[in-house]
Structure 1
Amino acid sequence: MLVEEIMKKEIVTLPKSASIAEALQLLHENRIRHIPIIDDNRSVIGIVSDRDVRDASPSILKKDADQSALENEIQSIMTHDVITVHPLDFVEEIARVFYDEAFACLPVVRDNKLVGIITEKDMLHTFIQLTGTNVQSSQIEIKVPHKPGVLPEVAAIFGARKTNITSVLIYPYNNDPNFKILVFRIQTMNPMPVVQDLRDAGYDLMWPNNIAEPKV
């Protein structure tokens, strides 16, 4: 999935000469947490967060607090060195940027011009969709040998039952390089027939656990 597929294209921006008061008003009116600061060519020259604005604002606990600080230009509190991403970057790859840098948002730039913005909330929503947890489904986790061809072998068992697969994830199995975990989400509220097929084929199920159902 590409960044351009999930980024917000309607972006609230400010020039560096805007006041902190203007930023505060835009943050509240639009219920956003970040404002990119751009120049006349729409190049990103900074970014300001709601925390930056809050820290620079007079305390609401002080009745006679000096309000003049709100008239300072936004460039006095903005972050100058802004990391940006490209619309054609893969979402899965920029997730690492969010994690490593502990960012809450990233401006999206093409040809040195701001074209969008992506937030940690956008990322979370995307991964919910990628994992298939946004639709009614059942989850099955299978321990398999780490070898070529094992995924289509397992998927064929679902196909034989004409079971629709919503998503597939692959995880390492502890620290053992000889095995991996396949996580399937399937569109059925009764996964037991295909679960039994997997057991009969000799696969180790991590979920549901690998204890066979009692026969009656």
Structure 2
Amino acid sequence: MKISQHMTRPVVTVPPELTIPEARELLRSRHFRHLPVVDGEGALLGIVTDRDLRSAYPSTVLDEAEGKARLQDLAQTPVSSIMSQAIFTLPAAATLDDALLLLDREQVGALPVVDEGGRVVGIFSIRDLMRAYRTLFGLGERGSAMLTLLDDGRPRPLSRLCAALEQADIHFNRLLKTQAEDGRKIIYLRVNTYNLAAVHKVAAAAGFEPHREA
């Protein structure tokens, strides 16, 4: 579950002297929202987002002459003048959980991934995170289904259910115990099979009945 397996790479980076219109066109043509700004050695200096670029452009309420003058200035303005230098990054060894917590805490859309020398080796976005979890948990795959079972209250419920499923050769990729709103302990089980009746039969034999809302 390392982000190095799911990050976007090779990542498109830009030098600090790139002009704002050039950066805007790059984002538009590549359908990106974030551009890491790096020095000649590939070390991260800052990041420019589509929001930064939109803010740099003149307001539509300006008169024509003032707006034209502003656009002429922008044509010579480097991205280094608007890039954010307060950057949150991740090492390639970080996990998907690390990325999720940092993205949520800092409310950013993407995180540059850097090596020990601070050089950009990838970028990890919310879209990458969603794609990674979808892959890991088999979401959207044919035959993928989530079942909700009632914990029978006996010791080691997950171990017992896991053993029963493996013995029956039923493929599953998520097994989680939590507590429902009604206070009962339940188990979420994601399986990859069309034969859900067989899964319920195996679970019932191991002591686990379907959880039904109270």
TM-score between the two structures when normalised by the length of structure 1: 0.84
Q: List aligned pairs for 1:82-121, cutoff 5 A.
A: 82-111=87-116, 112-121=118-127
Q: Which residue of 2 aligns with 1:214?
A: none
- Whether contact under 8 Å (2:164, 2:203) holds in the other structure is yes
Listed one character per residue, the Cα deviations across residues 154-207 of structure 1 (whole Å, up to 9, x for unaligned) are: 123323432222x1142521489x97533222222231232134234432422x
Q: List aligned pairs for 1:43-62, cutoff 5 A.
A: 43-59=43-59
Alignment of 1:190 with 2:195, yes or no, is: yes
Bigger shift: 83-92 or 181-190? 181-190
Q: List aligned pairs for 1:128-167, cutoff 5 A.
A: 128-136=134-142, 137-144=144-151, 149-165=156-172, 167=173
Bigger shift: 83-92 or 52-61? 52-61
Give the Cα–Cα distance (whole angstroms) in 1 for the partners of residues 175 and 63 of structure 2: 55
Q: Determine helix, strand or coil for the equivalent of 1:96.
A: helix
Q: Determine helix, strand or coil for the equivalent of 1:8.
A: coil
Listed one character per residue, the Cα deviations across residues 63-107 of structure 1 (whole Å, up to 9, x for unaligned) are: 833212422221221111111101111112211111111111000
Q: Determine helix, strand or coil for the equivalent of 1:103.
A: coil
Listed one character per residue, the Cα deviations across residues 35-78 of structure 1 (whole Å, up to 9, x for unaligned) are: 00111221111101011101112346878332124222212211
Alignment of 1:70 with 2:74, yes or no, is: yes
Give the Cα–Cα distance (whole angstroms) in 1 for the partners of residues 207 and 149 of structure 2: 11
Q: List aligned pairs for 1:13-32, cutoff 5 A.
A: 13-32=13-32
For 1:106, give the aligned amino acid.
L
Q: Which residue of 1 aligns with 2:2?
A: 2
For 2:160, give the aligned amino acid.
E
- Whether contact under 8 Å (1:56, 1:69) holds in the other structure is no
- Number of equivalent positions: 207
Mark the CA change 1:74 to 1:145 in structure 2 (over 3 Å): closer, same or farther: farther
Give the Cα–Cα distance (whole angstroms) in 2 for the partners of residues 108 and 147 of structure 1: 44
- Whether contact under 8 Å (1:146, 1:179) holds in the other structure is no
Q: Determine helix, strand or coil for the equivalent of 1:80.
A: coil
- Whether contact under 8 Å (2:12, 2:35) holds in the other structure is yes
Q: CA deviation at 1:30?
A: 1.1
Aligned-residue Cα RMSD (Å) equals: 2.7
- Whether contact under 8 Å (2:103, 2:126) holds in the other structure is yes
- Whether contact under 8 Å (1:140, 1:185) holds in the other structure is yes
Mark the CA change 1:100 to 1:194 in structure 2 (over 3 Å): closer, same or farther: same
Bigger shift: 127-136 or 64-73? 64-73
Mark the CA change 1:180 to 1:88 in structure 2 (over 3 Å): closer, same or farther: farther
Q: CA deviation at 1:147?
A: 7.8
- Whether contact under 8 Å (2:160, 2:206) holds in the other structure is no
Any gaps of 5 or more consecutive residues in structure 1?
Answer: 212-216
Q: Determine helix, strand or coil for the equivalent of 1:122.
A: helix
Q: Determine helix, strand or coil for the equivalent of 2:22.
A: helix
- Whether contact under 8 Å (2:20, 2:79) holds in the other structure is yes
TM-score between the two structures when normalised by the length of structure 2: 0.84
